[in-house]
Structure 1
Amino acid sequence: MDNGITLPADVQILSHQIAGHRFQKDENGGIKSGLLQKDKYVLKPLQSPPRGEVEVKFYRTIFDLSIINPVHEELRNLVPPFYGTEEYIINGTNITYLKLLDIAKPFRKPCIMDIKIGKKTYDPKATEKKINSETQKYPRMGEIGFRILGMQIYKPEENSFQFKDRFFGLSLEPEDVTENGLKLFFTQKSSLRRDVLQLVLSKLGRINEFFHIQREFAFYSSSLLIIYEGDESQSPVESLADVRMIDFTHVFETNEADDNYIYGIGMLIKSLSSLL
């Protein structure tokens, strides 16, 4: 690949990454890893402690089938399936990856949107400096309850994808995030994909119901990944759309309702419902 980074033969850069860290060299000549693709799996690099440790512990906890727990059982339906960890040496740097099922793999022309959920993205252990940094990053988050991190939309008339990055999401004001942000993602050939939107709302409703019941985890700076089939000329292989919870580096145990997440997903459902 470009920039002097040589990848192992059995992996490649994830072709449909729309947000998050990407491959690059750091100031010391080391490697900052991005998402990789290996067959039907996504390899997500473990972040530095304690964030990476928190995420792998969360996945191992909910996918431990020896423990009977209704919350864990439902979460296994709401997150990408987890297959442990793998290690690679890339340009002399040893990198540990989470091995997750690539949920976009079944789609021929996947339209993908990454949305961060919650009024606040800093966790209970955040320093005052971190709180200020996160708050200033997108002051509207407290009102909107979510932020678009990136998207790709298939344009059938051009047989190409349109991309929007995190700066697009940061530019959206509360009054236009629905019309200029969410509606853009669900629009093809100048028409709203109502079939997709209704299915996505149904899947979001299931996640919302789960959060109104569960009292085990609190999720900060976590996202929802929304995917739908952009090629209307083909029947979907498995499903027309999928919605999964992702990014769990700031998950905390709790015995209370996760009001931060509940507010965010509630506002997202309200915004999307207004498009119908």
Structure 2
Amino acid sequence: MAKSDQELPEGFRQLKTQVAGHTFEESNAEAVGLLQDSKAGCVLKPLGKPECGERELRFYESLAEAGASGDNDLLALLRGHVPRFYGPLKLVVNRRERTFLRLEDLTRSYAKPCVMDVKMGKRTWDPESSPNKRKVEEAKYVMCKQKLGLCLPGFQVYLPKEEHTQETTILRHGKDYGKSLNVEGFKQTMALFFNASTSDSKSRRAGCELLLKEVLRQLQEILAWFQRQRLLHFYASSLLICYDYSRLADPPKPLINGYHQNDDDPATWVRVKMIDFAHVYPAEQGLPDENYMFGLQSLIEVVQSILHR
């Protein structure tokens, strides 16, 4: 079955900006990727294996309930760093009923969406993993994962076709590219993704600087949350970094007092959100999630190095 021949419910289509995770496969009707409901502004993520899918659904539901009774204020704070959750939905895809999570479409308003999935932590296997699963996970992305606590399952980025031109081309890479990266290659790829190497015009350089500063601000907010929380440990979870390339050449201008007007707020075209919660567990012995924070601090350092080079 060709990807274009997938049997999807009316009003839904495959998500074009999906860069990682399970996808639709031409040779396997059982393989289902992310869907998009553009009318409702939602992305639909299929639940994975029963135990993983239920765990991820419970996580989103616990976030939705947090703070309602004054409890779990830390969980309520986390909601701002996670795509909005609109509940589960059953759909028939390829003649089989499946359950999906309805999530906010982070790039819905973007003219030229650049998207990167960065998996966090040296350890990507959860406490219930079999010895074989641990071995498989530890063999993936070894060069970057052990030194940075980061790996790169996939990304897409718009790049200028030539210097001093408005024409663009799209570069897409998946997990095979990410697995080939060493530390220096990872840093170079991050600079490429942020268009830090292609900012030839003054306005695009200004836009790139604003982009990097906004990414850093959001990363540091997520780190501040992790430094406080002792509730959960996140395994094989990712950060999704998104921005609209079309805003790079026309960055919002700061006001005299240093604030942006609402329409010019970089948070409207730059988003860093936590995703993938199939392997979230209660914190062991009430300890901080050092594994996730190690990767997060590495990512902050990489982005800072690009900004200040």
TM-score (norm 2): 0.83
The equivalent residue for 1:14 is: 15
The equivalent residue for 1:47 is: 48
| Deviation for aligned residue 1:5 | 2.2
> Unaligned stretches of 5+ in structure 1?
none
Is residue 108 from structure 1 mapped to residue 108 from structure 2 by the alignment? Answer: no
Deviations 1:148-169 (A, max 9, x none): 1111111244333111211111
Is residue 32 from structure 1 mapped to residue 31 from structure 2 by the alignment? Answer: yes
The equivalent residue for 1:259 is: 290
| Deviation for aligned residue 1:234 | 5.1
Task: Name the SS of the counterpart of 2:65 in structure 1.
Answer: coil
The equivalent residue for 2:65 is: 64
Task: Name the SS of the counterpart of 1:97 in structure 2.
Answer: strand
Q: Which amino acid aligns with 1:34?
A: G
Give the Cα separation in 2 of the matches to 1:175 and 1:165: 18
Q: How does 1:242-257 map to 2 (within 5 A)?
A: 242-254=271-283, 255-257=286-288
Deviations 1:28-72 (A, max 9, x none): xx5221000002100000001211010000000011153432111
Superposition RMSD on alpha carbons, in Å?
1.9
| Deviation for aligned residue 1:25 | 6.2
| Deviation for aligned residue 1:188 | 6.0
The equivalent residue for 2:79 is: 76
Give the Cα separation in 2 of the matches to 1:234 and 1:67: 44
Task: Name the SS of the counterpart of 2:147 in structure 1.
Answer: helix
Contact 1:156–1:189 (CA under 8 A) maintained in structure 2: no
Give the Cα separation in 1 of the matches to 2:61 and 2:136: 31
Q: Work out which of the residue numbers 182, 193, 205 in structure 1 matches 2:190.
A: 182
Give the Cα separation in 1 of the matches to 2:184 and 2:170: 26
Give the Cα separation in 1 of the matches to 2:193 and 2:27: 33
Q: Which amino acid aligns with 2:171?
A: Q
Give the Cα separation in 1 of the matches to 2:95 and 2:240: 32
The equivalent residue for 2:175 is: 166
Give the Cα separation in 2 of the matches to 1:189 and 1:143: 24
Q: Which amino acid aligns with 2:96?
A: T
Contact 1:114–1:223 (CA under 8 A) maintained in structure 2: yes
| Deviation for aligned residue 1:133 | 0.3
Higher strand content, 1 or 2: 1
Deviations 1:54-93 (A, max 9, x none): 0000000011153432111111100000000111112221
The equivalent residue for 1:226 is: 241
| Deviation for aligned residue 1:190 | 1.6
Task: Name the SS of the counterpart of 1:89 in structure 2.
Answer: strand
Contact 2:141–2:179 (CA under 8 A) maintained in structure 1: yes
Give the Cα separation in 2 of the matches to 1:133 and 1:26: 24
Q: Which amino acid aligns with 2:176?
A: F
Give the Cα separation in 2 of the matches to 1:202 and 1:18: 24
Deviations 1:254-274 (A, max 9, x none): 221001001110111111111
Q: Which amino acid aligns with 1:183?
A: A
Give the Cα separation in 2 of the matches to 1:150 and 1:174: 16
Give the Cα separation in 2 of the matches to 1:26 and 1:216: 42
Give the Cα separation in 2 of the matches to 1:58 and 1:199: 27
Q: 1:151 to 1:25 in 2, by over 3 A?
A: closer
Q: Which amino acid aligns with 2:305?
A: S
Task: Name the SS of the counterpart of 1:175 in structure 2.
Answer: helix
Higher helix content, 1 or 2: 2
Is residue 98 from structure 1 mapped to residue 113 from structure 2 by the alignment? Answer: no
| Deviation for aligned residue 1:120 | 0.9
| Deviation for aligned residue 1:26 | 6.6
Give the Cα separation in 2 of the matches to 1:70 and 1:144: 30
The number of equivalent residue pairs is 273
Contact 1:116–1:224 (CA under 8 A) maintained in structure 2: yes
Contact 2:22–2:32 (CA under 8 A) maintained in structure 1: yes
> Unaligned stretches of 5+ in structure 2?
162-166, 200-204, 253-262
Q: Which amino acid aligns with 1:274?
A: S
Q: Work out which of the residue numbers 195, 203, 214 in structure 1 matches 2:218.
A: 203
Give the Cα separation in 1 of the matches to 2:17 and 2:97: 24
| Deviation for aligned residue 1:186 | 0.8
Is residue 121 from structure 1 mapped to residue 121 from structure 2 by the alignment? Answer: no
Give the Cα separation in 2 of the matches to 1:165 and 1:194: 26
Task: Name the SS of the counterpart of 1:197 in structure 2.
Answer: helix
